[in-house]
Structure 1
Amino acid sequence: MLAKGQTVIQLMEKFAPKHLAVENDKIGLQLGTLNKEISKVLVALDVTHEVVDEAIALGANLIVAHHAIIFRPLANLRTDTPMGALYEKLIKNDIAVYISHTNLDVAEGGMNDWMAELVGIANPKPLEELQSEKLYKLVAYVPKSHHQGVLDAVLAAGAGAIGDYSHCSFNTEGTGTFLPGEGTHPHLGSPGKLERAEEIRIETIVPDGLRSKVVQAMLKAHPYEEVAYDLYLLEQKGKSFGLGRVGKLDEPKTLAELTEVVKKGFDVPAARVVGDPNRLIKKAAVLGGSGSRYIHHAIRQGADVLITGDIDYHTAHDALMAGLSIIDPGHNSEKVMKREVAELLGRMLEQSGSGTTVHASEPNTEPFRFV
């Protein structure tokens, strides 16, 4: 059974939700329709004529790409222009194009984490925090007889995580009172009679993204017809999400040694380097794409080097004077996402029982040649 386009994208957005994207980023469905069965998905960094030809030959009818094919509103759609011809080829072959850009960069386990892993950064943190997850406190009142069952249900649904600790809760014994009305079927007591019940108050932490799942798990495990519970928005921050990653290297390396690691990991023939090749690098920052405006973020975070693309001449001088080394493997280094997304999305589709297959694009879309 093939997956519908909407199903494929729901799985993609489960990993890289749209709300993680930078404001006004060009993400989502940019061309075609998802209201169809998807036979094959092609994952690409850029959508070029070579990539579209690859999709046609493969029989793929959905391309999931990192870089947008429509950056600004179209004044016209002429097929005698280079981009117009590209759109025409996609439309004629019924190939939809979906973009996952900064939401994929920001996502936990996404682009910047893949880059950090290839570089050898241990326990990476966001280079620039964009948002943090809201946290709620769930308070529920449960009869003693069902206390453990309800507690197990909410914790299994993801509640109770504080930092590196899980299954955190606080439980207080007390007495609950209620008067069942006419037509009710109370678990304890009788309609029209005030009931006093020995109950336990459960308190635990719930991240915003799991609120519905946790509450539904609690209601399903709870024996009462009408469950008394509260959700309080907390001031404390939950998990942080942001662009780039920074952290200490697994093993310190010279700038020259780290450059070789970057070239091999990102599969690039060369990299531009700013700084003394013999400098010992202990803490590194990475950022996919264009990172010129992030040198001061890297400096504030105590990084010895920033690994990113599209560094301009004056920014390189600023970094050099500030004592920050730079390794620039180019914007196309983001091509690591092709293999990672293809494996991730393919695995999720297989687990869902779908026959839709996912493939990493092969053409090299690097516009520069090293001579």
Structure 2
Amino acid sequence: MPETILVSDVVRILEDWAPKQYAYDWDNVGLQVGSLNKKVNRVMITLDVLESVVDEAIENEVNLIIAHHPLLFKSIKRINIDQPKGRILAKLLQHNITVYAAHTNLDITEGGVNDMLADRLELSDREVLIPTKQVNLYKLIVYVPNAYVDSLREALAEHGAGHIGNYSHCAFQTQGKGAFKPIAGSNPFIGQEGKVEFVEEVKLETIIKEDQLNQLLSVIKHVHPYEEPAFDLIPLANHGEKIGVGRIGVLSETMSLQQFCEFVKEKFSVPNLRVVGDLEKKVKKVAILGGSGEGFIAQAKRAGADVYVTGDMTFHDSQDANAMGLSIVDPGHHVEKVMIEDVKLYMEMKASEKDLNITFIISEQNTEPFQFL
């Protein structure tokens, strides 16, 4: 177990899951306030960073807040502690609390917010609704002594190498003999300076994603016994999965739009929602996008959705959806709160695997601004 756990250790776990480069260009993800190099032992997960959430973090002696919605989304020109945003920043700095945001990158990544929402609706045959990119793949080839091949292969697999479809730990090994001569200034694990050495080695090949590259090279450096491990990286013409926002899938059974509305209310624990369309219409194929998704009604229709579940729908876009025969269910933006518990469970699991003694808690503050009367 590491003696000192830093914010960067926790952030690394989150970014392995939801890389910052997945986020939209307009988004402001990552460090919001504080430092990546400070010690951490208590982490709070929240949807939003409101003043009540910060007060809760102070009361619970939290060192790090992980939020979905960025605290600093629009630029600020002054910090006035008589204003709400200024008070929040002052409290965070005074109590040495770091804030980190994972927003559209957490929406987009596999298992992220949109998959969490789709899970609640029990959607099967699921696909990405709006692809943003296709993952580039590389073949990673490492030459390693026989005695270390199993430990290196396992370490690479634990960090995501060798995933093909529903299979993990995919790799290929070829036995051979490596040759090298340590020169002046070297500190060889095997061999002597100035003498050519021949070693029985394995050529270990596996497939990796582009965004895993830096991390997996660090794994090689850490696990491989050689001072200078030999490896090759080969870009592949075949691509990985498409990633993007929103999901589309099918319900376990066909139901009326009215029945579906009750289903959504139950699954997302919302007392009310807005609906567009004929309540007697039968729905089976569902598109869902957490947050504000009115800009993608055309994509949902083209994908064959009977109904599109998203928040913050406005009047004219709702009319357009109705005219094109696409039903809309708007349960509000706040249903993204599903990420709080799911992120906590994920981070606890990964921290335990890395033997990091960190306590993760969830914010109990309700950040939903709307009341229904």
TM-score if structure 1 supplies the norm length? 0.82
Unaligned runs of 5+ in 2: none
Residue equivalent to 2:75: 73
Residue equivalent to 2:7: 5
Letter in 2 for 1:41: V
Question: 1:348 and 1:152 mapped to 2: Cα distance?
Answer: 19
Higher Rg: 1
Shift of 1:34: 3.4
Shift of 1:279: 1.7
Residue equivalent to 1:157: 156
Shift of 1:336: 1.0
Question: 1:329 and 1:72 mapped to 2: Cα distance?
Answer: 25
Shift of 1:202: 7.3
Query: Is 1:129 matched up with 2:128?
Result: no
Question: 2:335 and 2:263 mapped to 1: Cα distance?
Answer: 13
Letter in 2 for 1:285: A
Letter in 1 for 2:282: L
Question: 2:351 and 2:230 mapped to 1: Cα distance?
Answer: 39
Residue equivalent to 2:245: 243
Deviates most, 46-55 or 339-348: 339-348
Partner of 1:68, secondary structure, is coil
Shift of 1:107: 1.6
Partner of 2:247, secondary structure, is strand
Q: Deviations over 1:343-369 (max 9, x none)?
A: 222333344334431111112111111
Shift of 1:58: 1.6
Residue equivalent to 2:295: 293
Question: 2:218 and 2:35 mapped to 1: Cα distance?
Answer: 33
Unaligned runs of 5+ in 1: none
Question: 1:87 and 1:226 mapped to 2: Cα distance?
Answer: 45
Question: 2:168 and 2:80 mapped to 1: Cα distance?
Answer: 56
Q: Summarize the alignment of residues 317-332 of structure 1 with structure 2, pairs less than 5 Å apart.
A: 317-332=319-334
Letter in 2 for 1:58: N
Q: Deviations over 1:33-85 (max 9, x none)?
A: 33322232221111112212211222223211111222233211111222212
CA shift in 2, pair 1:142/1:32, >3 Å: closer
Q: Deviations over 1:104-157 (max 9, x none)?
A: 1112111111000001111422111112221123567899xx6x9959965873
Shift of 1:31: 1.4
Q: Contact 1:154–1:217 at 8 Å: present in 2 too?
A: no
Letter in 2 for 1:133: V
Q: Summarize the alignment of residues 186-265 of structure 1 with structure 2, pairs less than 5 Å apart.
A: 205-211=207-213, 230-265=232-267
Match of 2:315 among 309, 313, 316: 313
Residue equivalent to 1:277: 279
Question: 2:278 and 2:368 mapped to 1: Cα distance?
Answer: 28
Question: 1:4 and 1:165 mapped to 2: Cα distance?
Answer: 33
Q: Contact 1:2–1:355 at 8 Å: present in 2 too?
A: no
Identical residues among aligned pairs (%): 41
Partner of 1:38, secondary structure, is coil
Deviates most, 312-321 or 150-159: 150-159
Residue equivalent to 1:36: 38
Letter in 2 for 1:343: L
CA shift in 2, pair 1:218/1:353, >3 Å: closer
Question: 2:347 and 2:121 mapped to 1: Cα distance?
Answer: 24
Deviates most, 211-220 or 117-126: 211-220
Question: 2:111 and 2:129 mapped to 1: Cα distance?
Answer: 15
Query: Is 1:103 matched up with 2:102?
Result: no
Shift of 1:102: 0.6
TM-score if structure 2 supplies the norm length? 0.82
| Residue correspondences, number | 363
Q: Deviations over 1:320-363 (max 9, x none)?
A: 11111111000111111111112222333344334431111112
CA shift in 2, pair 1:172/1:45, >3 Å: closer
Q: Contact 1:150–1:221 at 8 Å: present in 2 too?
A: no
Q: Contact 1:127–1:246 at 8 Å: present in 2 too?
A: yes
Letter in 1 for 2:16: K
Moved >4 Å (runs of 4+)? 138-143, 148-156, 165-173, 175-187, 198-204, 209-230
Letter in 2 for 1:340: D
CA shift in 2, pair 1:369/1:150, >3 Å: same
Question: 1:84 and 1:199 mapped to 2: Cα distance?
Answer: 60
Deviates most, 213-222 or 272-281: 213-222
Residue equivalent to 1:56: 58
Query: Is 1:86 matched up with 2:88?
Result: yes
